[in-house]
Amino acid sequence: MCERANATLRDPHRCLLPKPIAGQTREREQRSLMPRAIYGQIWRRFIVVVLVLISFQTVAAEQDVLATADQLDAQVEHLYAAGKYDEALPRARQALSIREQRLGMDHPTTANSLNNLGLLYKAIGAHAEAKPLYEEALRIRVKLFGLDHPTTANSLNNLGMLYEAIGAYTQAEPLFQQALQIRGKALGPEDPATATSLNNLGMLYEAVGAYTQAEPLLQRALQTREKVLGPEHPATATTLNNLGLLYHSTGAYTQAEPLFQQALQIREKVLGPSHPLTAASLNNLAALYKVTGEYSHAEALYQQGLASLEHILGPEHPDTASSLSNLAGLYDATGDYAQAEALYQRALRIREKVFGPDHPTTASSLSNLALLYGTTGTYSLAEPLLQKVLAIHEKSLGPEHPKTAISLNNLAGLYHTTGLDEQAEPLLRRALAIQEQLLGPTHPATALSLSNLAILAWRQDRWADSVTYLQRAVSIRDTNTRRLLVQGNEARKRAYMVTLESSTQAVVSFTVAADHHVSAATTLGLETILQSKGRVLDVLTDTLTQLRNSLALEDQALLTSYQVATTKWATLNTRGPETLPIAQYRSQLADLQREVGALETQLSARSSRLRAQIEPITIQQVQRALPEKAVLLEWVYYF
C-alpha cells in the first residue's frame, strides 16, 4: 500500500463566513395625528427599518443554508474516512450545489467543495468525473489567488495525483513539479507542505521506475519532516513507509526493512494499534517478509493487520477483503491450501456483497480461488470459476482488454493441464492477439502467451511451430532483461536474475528434446545459455559502472540519459497500461522506444564496449570473438 499526503477532504484554505448579525429588533407601527409632513418622515423611516430588518433576516437565512453545507462537509469527511464513499457522494454534491447557488462559481469555498467531490470520485475510481472538478477548482484558485499561491499548489497537487492514479505519468510530473516550486518559494524549503510535494514527486518517480530520481526527493522529504514535525510524527512515518516501498521495489530489502519497522513503531505509538495506517504498515512489512522467504514473520504480521482492520472497519469492508487475500496468498505460496481456500472464500463473499457478483474486483477473488484449485488438482471446481472470471472481464472490461487476455490464458492453462489442447489453443491465440495489439510485441505477457503456445505445440510434436514461438519469447525476455538491468542496485539485479532461472532451464530442456527435429533449436538453446551467463556476469562485476568510469564526461551524461529513458521504458512495458487508456499507453511506449533507440545508436557509435553492452548476445558474436581453432565449452545444469 502506498499512501499520499494531501489527499484529505478538508482543504487547508477554507473561507470563514461572517457570523449572523445579532441584537436587531423590529419596531411596532404607531398611529399618529401629526402633520402629514412629519408623518411622511416617520413612514419613510419605518420603510427603511423594515427593509433593513428584512435584509438582516435574509443574511441569517443565508448563514443557515451555508451552515448546512458545513455540516454536510463534516458528514462527508467522516464517511470518507470510513470508506463509505457511496453515502458521502450525495452529501458532497449537495454541499457543492448550495455553495454554487449562494456564493457563486468563483468563490474559494466553492473551490473547496469541487475539490472534495473530486476526491470522492477519485476514491471510487470514477476518474473521468473527478478530472473536471479538479480542473474547475484549479481555475477558480488561479483566478482568485494567482499562479504562485500555496492554495493553487494544492489544486495542482490533487490534479497531479489524479493523473498518476490513471497512469498518465507524463501529465502528472509537471503538476507535481510546479506545486513543489510554488511551495518551496512561498513557504520555504522546510515547510511541511514542501515536504509533501517532495514526497509525492518522489513516489511518482518510483511509479515510473526512475529510482535514482525518486530516492533523493524522498530522503529530503524525510529530513524535513523529521526536523520540522519531529521523528515520531505520522507524516514522518508516511515518508519512512514510502522510502521503504522504493527500496522494496528495487530489491534493496535490507534497506527497506528498518524503514518499514520504524514507520510501524511510530504509527503504533502515535495512532494506536487499531488504525488503518498501522494496518497498512503491518501489511507492507509482511509483504517484505513474504518476498524474502520469512514466512513465519509474514504470517504473524498479516494476521495482526487483518485483526486490526476487522476491528476498525468491520468484517465485511473491502479493505478487510484485501487483507484476507494477502494472508491467503501467503498460505497458498507455502502450501497450506486448506487455510488459503477458507480465506479466499471469505474475501470472495465480501466482494460479492460489496461490489456485486459481476465486478472486476470480485473476479480477482474468483481467479485466486480457481488458481488454488488448479494447484491442488481440483480441476472440476477450477473450470467454472475461470469461465466466470472470463465472462466478467469480457462484460465489464470488454473482449479486448489485458485482463481478459489473462483470463483466457488461465483458462487455457487449465485445459492444457487436463489434456484438452484443442480447447486451449484458440484461447491462447486469442490472448496473444490481444496482448500484441494492446500491450505491444515486447511485453512480458506477450512472451508468456508465446511460451504457452510453444509448450502446446511441443506436446503435439509440432516442433517447427514450437521453436518459432519460443524464439520470439526468448527475444522478448532478453530485451526486457537488458533494459531492466541498466539501472538499479546490485541486490535488485540479483533478485531479478533469480526469477529467470526456471525459464532458462525450461528453454534448455526443450531445445535438447527438439534438437533432432529442428536445427534452429540448438542455436536457440546456446544463445539462451550465453545470454543468461552474460547478464549474470554483468551483474556480478557491475560492468556498466566500470564502463561509466572510463567514459568522458559528455559520454557519461549520454549514458545517464540512456539509463533514465530505458528504465522508464522497462517500467511502463512491464507494468502495462493499468488504468491508462490503451491508445495513450501505446503512444507513450512508442515515444520511449524511439528515445531509447536513438540513445542506443549514439552510444554504440561512441564506444565499442558500450555497443557490446547494449546489443543482444548471439552465437555469431561469440564465434567472431573466439581465437582461430579455439572451442568454447559450456556446462549447463538443467531439468
**Please, is 550 exposed, middle or buried when counting C-beta atoms within 10 Å of its C-beta (0-12, 13-18, 19+)?**
exposed
Q: How confident is residue 7, by pLDDT bands cut at 50, 70 and 90?
A: very low
Query: What's this model's pTM, rounded to 2 decimal places?
Result: 0.70
Per the prediction, the chain carries an average pLDDT of 81
Q: Is the pLDDT at 345 greater than 70, yes or no?
A: yes
Nearest partner of 482 among 613, 619, 607, 618, judged by Cα: 613
Q: Is the pLDDT of residue 354 over 70?
A: yes
Separation CA 410–CA 406 (nearest Å): 6
In this predicted structure, what is the pLDDT of residue 570? Answer: 76
Q: What is the pLDDT of residues 138-182, one digit of tens each?
A: 999 999 999 999 999 999 999 999 988 877 888 999 999 999 999
pLDDT-based confidence at residue 625 (cuts at 50, 70, 90): confident
Would you say residue 103 has pLDDT above 50?
yes
Q: Could you tell me how far CA 592 lies from the centroid of its own chain? A: 20
Evaluate if residue 395 carries a pLDDT over 70: yes
When pLDDT is averaged across residues 561-566 and rounded to a whole number, the result is 80
Cα(75)–Cα(140) distance, integer angstroms: 25
> What pLDDT digit, counting tens, does each position of 31-86 carry?
223 233 333 443 344 455 444 545 545 555 566 777 888 888 888 888 887 667 88
Q: For residues 612 and 269, what is the distance between their CA atoms, to the nearest angstrom?
A: 54
Q: What is the pLDDT of residues 199-240, one digit of tens each?
A: 999 999 888 777 888 999 999 999 999 999 999 999 999 999
The alpha carbon of 358 is separated from its chain's Cα centroid by a whole number of angstroms, namely 23
Count helices and strands in the chain by DSSP H and E runs: 28, 0
Closest CA to 490 of 533, 542, 429: 542
Q: Is 158 exposed, middle or buried (0-12, 13-18, 19+ CB in 10 A)?
A: buried
For residue 221, give Cα distances in angstroms to 160, 215, 278. Answer: 18, 10, 20
Q: What is the pLDDT of residues 507-538, one digit of tens each?
A: 777 777 777 787 787 777 777 777 776 666 55
User: What pLDDT, on the 0 to 100 scale, is given for residue 212?
Assistant: 80
User: Distance (Å, rounded) from C-alpha 236 to C-alpha 234?
Assistant: 5
Instruction: Give 25's pLDDT tier (boundaries 50, 70, 90).
Output: very low
Instruction: Map residue 462 onto helix, strand or coil.
Output: coil
Mean pLDDT calculated for residue range 592-599: 85
Q: How far is CA 502 from CA 506, 509, 520, in A?
A: 6, 10, 21
CB 447 within 8 A of CB 456: no
* Residue pair 508/636 in contact by the 8 Å Cβ criterion: yes
**Ranges of each domain in the chain:** 1-16+49-187, 487-639
Helix (H) or strand (E) holding 118: helix 108-123
Of residues 635, 607, 611, 612, the one with CA closest to residue 622: 612
What CATH architecture is 1-16+49-187? Alpha Horseshoe (1.25)
- Residues contacting 129, CB < 8 A, separation 6+: 121
Read off the pLDDT of residues 445-472 as tens digits, 9 standing for 90 and up.
Answer: 898 899 999 889 888 889 888 888 988 9
Q: What CA–CA distance (Å, rounded) separates 110 from 619?
A: 67
